[in-house]
């Protein structure tokens, strides 16, 4: 008996990397799995790998950034396995370039796959789950880049949007028994090969992409039926709760703040409370001013 026996799951962008690992663990724990990837050959390889171990599995090559693709993907799961209980929105792409040089095309290409794809696949799946009356599980994929990362306006913005959609859907879908969480994975993959921190390519130690899979399998199971609206850092040796952005230090004045009051009070009260920002969360470095740097 596996903890996912009788469940049907879809994983997008699962022909390689992190998504492949999710599929292996979902199938190993009893789920029937649709392996989606726009790269059909890669999806087929994962299907063969799972089928060879006796798993129930099928490939789908939809472009998840289109409404037809999202609909066909969810329909295939229902047609082949009788229902859909979980969708893992994992597909992703990058088009890194610094903000001032980024083109509309680069911005749009990344939003289409991450934001629109996650929106459309989740909506198609949630409509089915509501109709089934069975509840269900949506797992989105974010990244620490959403804290801010040099050269990733499109990617960081997309992952921030996905985090906010995760919280919003968790609120809206709880009445149907549909849980909505996200993972912020870590892995050595085709995508991580281009990873930059502070604008520089970094040589990171190898992290097996499949190490994100066990937690995804757990989240899809009934043992996690009390977990929703959460984001978890996964991969390597970690499972970390990602804190929601929240209001922090403040100053308050009955009747509201006039400009002169702000000028007088702001630096005194909040001047040493500004937040570190960006992927590396270094202490706030700009107390002496933000000025053009010498070329
Ligand atoms: N690798 C990391 O360390 C890391 C860190 C944080 C977040 N992530 C996220 O994890 C997810 C998986 O990334 P990965 O590192 O395995 O990358 P990857 O490039 O190895 O895999 C992504 C897969 O998505 C597929 N894909 C892209 N566009 C698609 C589309 N329109 N329709 C269907 N499939 C599509 C690609 O063909 C590819 O197989 C992504 O959402 C990524 O942003 C990865």
In the predicted model, is pLDDT for residue 109 greater than 90? Answer: yes
Asked whether 33 lines ligand 1 (CB < 6 A), one says no
User: Rounded CA gap, 81 and 280, in Å?
Assistant: 43
83 located within any domain: yes
Active site residues: 155
| Bridge partners, residue 180, by sequence | 138
269 located within any domain: no
Best CA proximity match to 157, nearest among 96, 90, 231: 96
180 located within any domain: yes
Element at 233 (helix H, strand E): strand 231-235
How many domains does the chain fold into? 1
Asked whether 189 lines ligand 1 (CB < 6 A), one says yes
31 located within any domain: yes
251 located within any domain: no
Look up the domain containing 138 and give its range.
8-241
Mean pLDDT over 105-122 rounds to 98
pLDDT band at 199 (very low <50, low <70, confident <90, very high): low
Mean pLDDT over 240-258 rounds to 97
What does residue 233 show for φ and ψ, rounded to 5 degrees?
-75, 125
268 located within any domain: no
In the predicted model, is pLDDT for residue 284 greater than 90? Answer: no
pLDDT band at 79 (very low <50, low <70, confident <90, very high): very high
258 located within any domain: no
**Residue-wise DSSP of 77-88:** HHHHHS---EEE
DSSP assignment letter at 275: P
The CATH number for 222's domain is 3.40.50.720
120 located within any domain: yes
Q: Which of 14, 15, 17 is the pocket-test mutation for ligand 1 (most atoms within 8 Å of CB)?
A: 17
Long-range pairs, 163-169, Cβ under 8 A, ≥24: 163/231, 165/115, 165/118, 165/119, 165/122, 165/140, 166/140, 166/142, 166/229, 166/231, 167/229, 167/244, 169/122, 169/126, 169/138
Q: Which of 10, 12, 15, 18 is the pocket-test mutation for ligand 1 (most atoms within 8 Å of CB)?
A: 18
């Amino acid at each position: 008996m596996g903890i996912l026996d009788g469940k049907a799951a879809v994983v997008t962008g699962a022909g390689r990397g992190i998504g492949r690992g999710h599929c292996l663990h979902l199938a190993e724990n009893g789920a029937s799995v649709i392996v989606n990837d726009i790269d059909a050959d890669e999806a087929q390889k994962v299907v063969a790998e799972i089928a060879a171990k006796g798993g129930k599995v099928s490939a789908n090559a939809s472009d998840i950034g289109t409404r037809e693709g999202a609909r066909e993907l969810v329909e295939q799961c229902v047609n082949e396995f009788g229902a859909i209980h979980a969708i893992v929105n994992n597909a992703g792409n990058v088009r890194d370039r610094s903000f001032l040089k980024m083109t509309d095309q680069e911005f749009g290409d990344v939003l289409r796959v991450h934001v629109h794809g996650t929106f459309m696949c989740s909506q198609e799946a949630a409509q089915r789950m509501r109709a089934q009356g069975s509840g269900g599980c949506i797992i989105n994929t974010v990244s620490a880049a959403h804290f801010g990362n040099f050269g990733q306006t499109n990617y960081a913005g997309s992952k921030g949007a996905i985090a906010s959609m995760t919280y919003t859907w968790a609120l809206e879908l709880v009445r149907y028994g549909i849980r909505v969480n996200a993972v912020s994975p870590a892995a050595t993959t085709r995508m991580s090969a281009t990873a930059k921190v502070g604008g520089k390519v970094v040589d990171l130690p190898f992290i097996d992409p499949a190490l994100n899979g066990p937690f995804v399998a757990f989240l899809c199971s009934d043992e996690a039926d009390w977990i929703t609206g959460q984001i978890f850092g996964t991969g390597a040796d970690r499972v970390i709760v990602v804190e929601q952005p929240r209001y922090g230090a403040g100053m308050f004045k009955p009747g509201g703040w006039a400009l002169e009051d702000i000028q007088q009070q702001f630096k005194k009260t909040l001047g040493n409370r500004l937040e570190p920002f960006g992927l590396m969360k270094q202490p706030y470095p700009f107390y002496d001013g933000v000025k053009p740097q010498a070329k």
